[in-house]
Amino acid sequence: MEHIFKCEVSDLKLKINAGSIKHFAITFSDREDIQIVAEGDLSQYSIQNERTYIEIRTTDKNVVSLPEDKITIVESLNIDLPQEMKPHLDLKAIDSYIFLNYEQEQAFPTIRIDGVGINTEFKNITSNVSFNALNSILKTDGLLGNIDINGLNTTLNLYNIKDTNLKVNGLAATLTIHEENNPANFNIKVMGLNATVRYHNYEKKGLGKMTFQSPQVAGAPYCNISGTGVKTTITINE
């Protein structure tokens, strides 16, 4: 099965710490004639996407670059990852779209995203996610693991909840969990100003410490949510 990590960006720095990788292929969708293949021990692999150049650095000091007149801003990167590879993803982006979607569950030890104006989607991912962003959106479908959110005006939409621990910290964070036909057991603790918890037709507001526990459903996944900040809104609906 082919692993594809697709990131549509205007400006991106991507680092993958993946141990020993024997083969890596990178293609640029706006230039079908360009393909760079790097081989060797890529224990730390980085792409720097800027207006003038793209570089690929490997641990054996090989550097591949494109002349300035051969490329402008790359708007799409398709990175094919070996099936056995389980990398740590460290993404920094501005005004970008990041998609990490799989039809079957895939594991990544950690995923860290930092930036401004990021629209991110995960599907069928197992990982510990750190999302530190301003004016950004994170949507997950079937994510298993821990999510740590820090930022300003951050919006989260979670579908098909599995066992998850959520930490939501920052200013004006909005978390919406869509239960649909997949109920979960929710335990919520919020510390801060102007916090709101909505569970179906139930609503609770408070200043300072607020706790909430949903009706317990046997065999359903557990979702533990803790929030610290100002104007934190947590909504759970069908």
Q: Please state the rounded mean pLDDT for residues 142-154.
A: 91
Judged against a pLDDT cut of 90, whether residue 179 lies above it is answered with no
Average pLDDT of the chain to the nearest whole number? 70
Q: Please state the rounded mean pLDDT for residues 141-153.
A: 91
**Ranges of each domain in the chain:** 1-85, 95-238
pLDDT tens figures, 47-72: 444 332 333 433 434 444 444 443 33
Q: Please state the rounded mean pLDDT for residues 153-168.
A: 91
Task: State residue 183's pLDDT score.
Answer: 83
**Phi, psi at residue 95, to the nearest 5°?**
50, 55
Compute the distance between CA of residue 147 and CA of residue 130 in angstroms, rounded to an integer. 6
CB 152 within 8 A of CB 170: yes
Judged against a pLDDT cut of 60, whether residue 74 lies above it is answered with no
User: Confidence band (pLDDT; 50, 70, 90) for 238?
Assistant: low
Judged against a pLDDT cut of 60, whether residue 127 lies above it is answered with yes
Q: Please state the rounded mean pLDDT for residues 167-190.
A: 88
pLDDT tens figures, 214-236: 988 898 999 999 988 889 999 99
DSSP string, 22-33: SEEEEEETTEEE
pLDDT tens figures, 24-35: 444 333 333 334
Compute the distance between CA of residue 191 and CA of residue 237 in angstroms, rounded to an integer. 22
Compute the distance between CA of residue 3 and CA of residue 101 in angstroms, rounded to an integer. 10
Between CA 28 and CA 39, with CA 33 as vertex, the angle to 5 degrees is 65
Judged against a pLDDT cut of 80, whether residue 44 lies above it is answered with no
Other beta carbons less than 10 A from residue 65's beta carbon: 15
Task: State residue 192's pLDDT score.
Answer: 82
Percent of the chain with pLDDT over 70: 63
User: What's the token pair of residue 146?
Assistant: 């821990």
Judged against a pLDDT cut of 50, whether residue 15 lies above it is answered with no
DSSP string, 84-132: T---EEEEEEEEEEEEEEEEEEEEEEEEEEEEEEEEEEEEEEEEEEEEE
